[in-house]
Chains A and B, each alone.
Chain A
Amino acid sequence: MVKINGMETEKKRILVVDDEPSITRLLKLNLEQTNEYVVRAENDSEAAVAAAEEFQPDLILLDVMMPGLDGGELASRFEANPKLKSVPIVFLTAAATKSEVHARGGKVGGLRFLAKPVELSEVLACLKQHLGEGTNR
């Protein structure tokens, strides 16, 4: 629960993990500007599990290609963590194209994907679709 203008509103908590600080910063600004989300940005994938445990997100936006732990390995760690295993993950990828992702209904290999560069409207639609889904798949 987050207090806004004296009223307690339930905002969804989004963890954004991407090694590009400009991307996480702008995602945070954009998502929080909607007043529907609280965003935590994390640029160090090694620190992402601890950040997630502390932040307890409702959904994780996770970049795929990152130095150190990549998105796939990090997703495995989230799934192995009892506190995080039910948090839906949406991968942000530069490796696939929008048409490839769209052609597969937003999922590749059973995983949710957004193809970079992604517009805010797509991110918002995706969050609405997947928030509350119990599993990562």
Chain B
Amino acid sequence: MNIEPVTKSKKQTTEQATLESEQRYKRLLASVTDYVYAVTVEDGRAVSTFHGPGCEAVTGYTSDEFQQDQQLWYRMIKEEDRPAVLEQAERILKGQETPPLEHRIIHKDGSVRWIRNTTVPRKDAQGRLVAYDGLGYDITDRKQAEERLTRAHAELAANEEALKRTLEELRAANQELKETQLQLIQAARLESVGALAAGVAHEVKNPLQTILMGLDYLVPNCPAENENLAMVLSDMREAVTRANTIILGLLQLSAQTDFEMKREDLNGSVRRALNLVKAQVIACKVSVVRKLDAHLPPVKMDRGKIEQVFINLLINALQAMSPGGVLTVTTRAGQFGENLKVNETAFRQFSRGEQVVLAEVQDTGTGIAAVNLPKVFDPFFTTKPVGEGTGLGLSVVKKIVDFHGGGVDIQNAPLGGVVVTLVLRAEPE
């Protein structure tokens, strides 16, 4: 039996074992089809990298190419992702835990691939880092699927947003349609009432004439001692006056052509109308606040008719208020919908930015019940006590303003009372 003398030291034995282990490891790496690499570390620095043959399937480059060009692995990383990869390498070289990193590389064929890079440190018996292994797993398909999903989500969100907008637009269009329909019905109603009024006016005025002349005959022939008779005759005269007021309103509704349109100052009409209702203002014990813009551009209008509009609005406001109320009349000029904000749905005849003149008549009365607001321009609609209103005032206002190509809106004021807004086109200066 030959006994081989023990010639190798313990150190040599250990080194031999390590070498064999590494060779076995490389053989193992070479047999793995995934992209596996091993980085040898000396004194905390990476000194060489071995790329298993699986690298070609993932990167397009062979092990030999990586072997010959030790910087290839770095250049292969997409530029934006390099800092993260370097950070991962630094962490592992410092012996820190490194979570898997997903980053992009440029494949040899030029395409962009996503890789999930997982590293595992290898340490010696003393716990020093001697190498680390990496597994580059191609996750391009998953990433592309994720991106498609993200895009699909974004698209879905955008579609949902677009759908919401369309729905809103549809609602607005529907509302607009309803309002237009109401306006058309109202216009048709005004027209038919107007046409009817013209025919009826003559027929009613003659009997009124007979009654009035009869009263004129009876009054001087009434026995002075009969007070009741005098009262009855007075009541009858009042009834004739009232009936005639209704006829007058109806005729104003039916008036089609007798408008004398001239360039006028709207403030002038406001002042004249205020002057004409001065007696009622005093009787109602309300105060008047004028906020008239001194630099209003002219308006093409029939002065008399627009004064009639203001008189009707002012009388309505006065009748709505208790003593101590405040009647505010405002005029302003500006660009419609821009520096002059109004309820635009009520003034569709104007374009945004159009130069317009606005007048507001505001009272401090009790306001109008919301349910009645859509009806206020209907002929014969009134919320006043019987005998106080004909229900034609606002119909006449609307008719006249419509004829001027303007608009009128009536709303409850935020702090109580009613505000009527009138908008007319301004004439060029």
Residue contact B202 to A23, C-beta cutoff 8 Å: no
Chain B residues lying within 8 Å of A97, measured Cβ to Cβ, are: 248, 251-252
Residue contact A120 to B206, C-beta cutoff 8 Å: no
Determine if B139 is an interface residue (Cβ-Cβ < 8 Å): no
Residue contact A116 to B206, C-beta cutoff 8 Å: yes
Chain A residues lying within 8 Å of B216, measured Cβ to Cβ, are: 26, 30, 119-121
The answer for the CA separation of A95 and B240 in the assembled complex, in Å, is 17
Determine if B193 is an interface residue (Cβ-Cβ < 8 Å): no
Residue contact A26 to B251, C-beta cutoff 8 Å: no
Determine if A20 is an interface residue (Cβ-Cβ < 8 Å): yes
Within 8 A of B (CB), among A85-113: 92, 94-95, 97-100, 103
Determine if A65 is an interface residue (Cβ-Cβ < 8 Å): yes
Majority secondary structure of chain B interface residues (helix, strand, loop or mixed): helix
Closest Cβ of chain A: how far from B218's Cβ, in Å? Answer: 10
Interface segment among B127-135, B207-215, B379-387: the answer is: B207-215
The answer for the CA separation of A119 and B304 in the assembled complex, in Å, is 24
Determine if A50 is an interface residue (Cβ-Cβ < 8 Å): no
The verdict on A23 contacting B217 (CB below 8 Å), with A94-B202, A94-B205, A117-B240 known, is: no
**26 pairs from A and B in contact (CB 8 Å cutoff):** A20-B209, A20-B210, A22-B213, A22-B214, A23-B209, A26-B213, A26-B214, A26-B216, A26-B217, A27-B213, A29-B217, A33-B220, A94-B201, A94-B205, A97-B248, A99-B248, A103-B304, A116-B205, A116-B206, A117-B205, A117-B208, A117-B211, A117-B240, A118-B212, A120-B213, A120-B216
Chain A residues lying within 8 Å of B316, measured Cβ to Cβ, are: none
Chain B residues lying within 8 Å of A22, measured Cβ to Cβ, are: 210, 213-214
Chain B residues lying within 8 Å of A103, measured Cβ to Cβ, are: 304
Identify the 4 closest CB pairs spanning chains A and B, nearest first: A26-B213, A120-B216, A94-B205, A117-B208
Chain B residues lying within 8 Å of A120, measured Cβ to Cβ, are: 213, 216
Residue contact A33 to B251, C-beta cutoff 8 Å: no
Closest Cβ of chain A: how far from B384's Cβ, in Å? Answer: 22
Within 8 A of A (CB), among B187-223: 201-202, 205-206, 208-214, 216-217, 220
Instruction: Please report B residues at the A interface, Cβ cutoff 8 Å.
Output: 201-202, 205-206, 208-214, 216-217, 220, 240, 244, 248, 251-252, 258, 304
Chain A residues lying within 8 Å of B208, measured Cβ to Cβ, are: 116-117
The answer for the CA separation of A52 and B159 in the assembled complex, in Å, is 87
Closest Cβ of chain A: how far from B264's Cβ, in Å? Answer: 16
Chain B residues lying within 8 Å of A98, measured Cβ to Cβ, are: 248
Chain B residues lying within 8 Å of A27, measured Cβ to Cβ, are: 213
Write the chain B residue with the least CB distance to A124.
Answer: B216
Chain A residues lying within 8 Å of B217, measured Cβ to Cβ, are: 26, 29-30, 33
Question: Which residue, of A30, A33, A117, has the highest number of chain B Cβ atoms within 10 A?
Answer: A117
Chain B residues lying within 8 Å of A99, measured Cβ to Cβ, are: 248
The answer for the CA separation of A23 and B211 in the assembled complex, in Å, is 9
Closest Cβ of chain A: how far from B326's Cβ, in Å? Answer: 29
